[in-house]
Amino acid sequence: MPAFSRFTPLISALPASVPFVGPEAIERNRGLMVKARIGANENGFGPAPSVIEAIGAAAAGTWKYADPENFELKQALAAHLGCQVNNIAVGEGIDSLLGLIVRMVIEPGMPVVTSFGAYPTFNFHVAGHGGRLVTVPYVDDREHLDGLMEAVRRENAPLVYFANPDNPMGSWWDADSIVAFAKALPETCLMILDEAYCETGPAGATPDIAALIDRPNIIRTRTFSKAYGMAGSRVGYAISTPGTAEAFDKIRNHFGMNRIGVASALAALKDQAYLSQVIGQIKASRERIAAIAETNGLKPLASATNFVAIDCGRDGAYARSIVDGLMEHGVFIRMPGVAPLNRCIRVSTGPEPDMALLEEALPKVLKSL
For 42, residues 6+ apart whose C-beta sits below 8 A from its C-beta are 225, 229, 231, 348
Q: Which of 6-15, 44-53, 216-225 has the lowest mean pLDDT?
A: 6-15
Percent of the chain predicted with pLDDT > 90: 95
Residue 135: pLDDT above 80? yes
**What's the rounded Cα separation, in Å, for the pair 270 and 274?**
9
pTM: 0.95
pLDDT 10s digits, 325-360? 999 999 999 999 999 999 999 999 999 999 999 999
**What's the rounded Cα separation, in Å, for the pair 134 and 284?**
37
Mean pLDDT for 239-245 is 98
Amino acid at 122: F
**What's the rounded Cα separation, in Å, for the pair 226 and 207?**
19
Mean pLDDT for 7-24 is 86
DSSP string, 324-343: HHHHHTTEE-B--SSTTGGG
Helix (H) or strand (E) holding 300: strand 299-300
**What's the rounded Cα separation, in Å, for the pair 90 and 68?**
10
pLDDT 10s digits, 163-190? 999 999 999 999 999 999 999 999 999 9
What was the pLDDT predicted at 341? 98
Write down the mean pLDDT value for the chain: 97
pLDDT 10s digits, 256-306? 999 999 999 999 999 999 999 999 999 999 999 999 999 999 999 999 999
What was the pLDDT predicted at 20? 83
**What's the rounded Cα separation, in Å, for the pair 203 and 175?**
9
Residue 4: pLDDT above 90? no
What was the pLDDT predicted at 34? 96
pLDDT band at 21 (very low <50, low <70, confident <90, very high): confident
Q: Which of 284, 301, 288, 297 is nearest to 359 (CA)?
A: 288
DSSP string, 165-228: S-TTT-----HHHHHHHHHHS-TTSEEEEE-TTGGGSPTTSS--HHHHTT-TTEEEEEESSSTT
What was the pLDDT predicted at 16? 82
- Is residue 91 within 8 A of residue 238, CB to CB? The reply is yes
Q: For each of the domains in the chain, give its residue range(s) and CATH number, in order of start.
A: 9-46+273-368 (3.90.1150.10), 49-271 (3.40.640.10)
**What's the rounded Cα separation, in Å, for the pair 322 and 318?**
7
User: What sign results for the dihedral spanned by CA atoms 108, 113, 115, 116?
Assistant: positive
Residue 119: pLDDT above 80? yes
Residue 137: pLDDT above 80? yes
Strand partners, 236: 91, 223
Residue 2: pLDDT above 90? no
pLDDT band at 362 (very low <50, low <70, confident <90, very high): very high
**What's the rounded Cα separation, in Å, for the pair 131 and 160?**
12
- Catalogue the long-range contacts made by 287-291 (C-beta closer than 8 Å, 24 or more residues apart): 288/352, 288/355, 289/347, 289/349, 289/355, 289/358
